[in-house]
Amino acid sequence: MSMSKKSHIKSKIGKPPGTLLYLGNKAIKDSKVTLTVYDEDIFEVHEINSFNNLKELLSKTKEESVKWINIIGVKDIEFLKLLGEHFKISNLILEDVLNSYQRPKIEINHDFLFVVTKRPYYNNDDYSIEHNSYIMNDRLLISIQDAENDFYKDITERIKNGLNVFRKMKTDYLLYVLLDLSVDNYLLVFEEFQEKSEALEEKLIYEPVKEDLSSIQELKKTVQAIRQSLWPTREILNSLVRRESNFISEGAVVYFRDTLDHQLQLNDTLEASREMVSSLMEIYLSSINNKMNEVMKVLTIIATIFIPLTFIAGLYGMNFEFMPELKWHWGYPLTLLVMFLITLILIIYFKKKDWM
């Protein structure tokens, strides 16, 4: 657990339930709010500069129109308070909205459907995760992104052009689109993860170094973080497919089932990624052992060559008085020649055995 997470949790301890306190690491100064109103006949997008501005615009919309309030950045706690009071959203729900460490989940009651998901992404080769929340009823959907940029900006264009399906559907279809986009984003993360793993695997086979161990640990942490955010998503989608909420129409079930199918495929990819990280550790240890074995082989060959040479040098280095070879005129060069021949014979032998 990081120090920032520990400090955030400590600041929350002792507070009464429903205390609105932002828990997260995103340095967002200002929240951005947009209101999108649409049905088969109308399509409007409004930039919201205050809560009163939002109330005024909502009062002018038709009751049967779908209203999508998209909030980018969750540090404007006062705006969320006013939003909760206006739509009668419990502070317990808003508390989870503000907690970026909240596990993905779904809550169902008579007034709202509440969903928490995570959107993983790579930011300059660093794995990051975004906390997203959705509060929905029959004609209203509030999406809150703990981010600086609007991940759903392309959805607005799809609504504008979606006369065939999008504009005829209710908020459950909009929820499907947002969830499906977040789930599909895992594919991009896994692609990036696989590229990093394959590059590291090639490096481990040919040039393993001590620093590679920390790279493997980073990949392992990434897989664990992905698993913590991906697995609970299955529970959310299963609940939506079973229509446990009255706000999910029968016509939208087929779309949520498609997203569930994507999620199940991602679970298989996740397991493959976990196995890949385990294999990277095995390759690293094997490569290091092979490298050590190569060093030991070289030292063994050198020692084997010098054993007979050391024996000869030691034999004629003894201080006995009667050693006739010491008196020979050609004794010294002959001894060197024998030592050279022994070395040459051993080298040829090792070459034939493919030990060198």
Cα 67 to Cα 54: distance, rounded to the nearest angstrom: 11
Q: What is the mean pLDDT of the chain?
A: 86
**Which residues make Cβ contacts (< 8 Å) with residue 18, sequence separation at least 6?**
90, 91, 92, 94, 95
Highest mean pLDDT among 14-23, 180-189, 203-212: 180-189
In a shared domain, residues 73 and 26: yes
Spell out the alpha helix ranges (H) of the chain.
3-12, 51-59, 77-87, 91-98, 153-161, 171-206, 212-241, 250-315, 331-352
For residue 355, pLDDT over 60 is answered with: yes
In a shared domain, residues 270 and 304: no
Domain containing residue 198: 3-286
Among 253, 286, 319, identify where a domain stops.
286
In a shared domain, residues 155 and 220: yes
> What's residue 314's pLDDT?
84
For residue 176, pLDDT over 70 is answered with: yes
Cα 297 to Cα 291: distance, rounded to the nearest angstrom: 10
In a shared domain, residues 119 and 203: yes
In a shared domain, residues 250 and 307: no
> What's residue 27's pLDDT?
60
In a shared domain, residues 156 and 214: yes
In a shared domain, residues 203 and 112: yes
Which tens digits make up the pLDDT trace of 6-42? 565 666 665 677 678 887 776 666 778 999 999 888 8
Query: Domain holding 115: CATH number?
Result: 3.30.460.20
Least confident of 75-79, 132-136, 256-260, 301-305: 75-79
Cβ distance 204 to 284 under 8 Å?
yes
Cα 144 to Cα 74: distance, rounded to the nearest angstrom: 7
Give the three-class secondary structure for 23: strand
Query: Which residue type sits at 191?
Result: E
Among 234, 258, 286, identify where a domain stops.
286
Among 237, 265, 286, identify where a domain stops.
286
Q: In residues, how long is the chain?
A: 356
Q: What is the number of structural domains in the chain?
A: 2
What are the beta bridge partners of residue 142? 69, 135
Which tens digits make up the pLDDT trace of 59-107? 989 888 999 999 998 778 888 999 999 999 999 999 999 988 889 999 9
**Which residues make Cβ contacts (< 8 Å) with residue 19, sequence separation at least 6?**
12, 91, 95
What are the beta bridge partners of residue 44? 37
For residue 122, pLDDT over 60 is answered with: yes
In a shared domain, residues 236 and 150: yes
Query: Domain holding 298: CATH number?
Result: 1.20.58.340
**DSSP structure class, residue 99:** B
Beta pairing class for 43-48 and 105-108: unpaired
In a shared domain, residues 18 and 125: yes
Cβ distance 171 to 247 under 8 Å?
yes
In a shared domain, residues 200 and 309: no
In a shared domain, residues 280 and 297: no
| Dihedral pair phi/psi, residue 145, rounded to 5° | -110, 125
Write the burial class of residue 194 (CB in 10 Å: 0-12 exposed, 13-18 middle, 19+ buried). middle
Q: What is the mean predicted confidence (pLDDT) over 136-144?
A: 92
Which of the two residues, 76 and 235, has the higher pLDDT score? Answer: 235
Handedness of CA 89, 95, 98, 102 (dihedral sign): negative
In a shared domain, residues 282 and 300: no
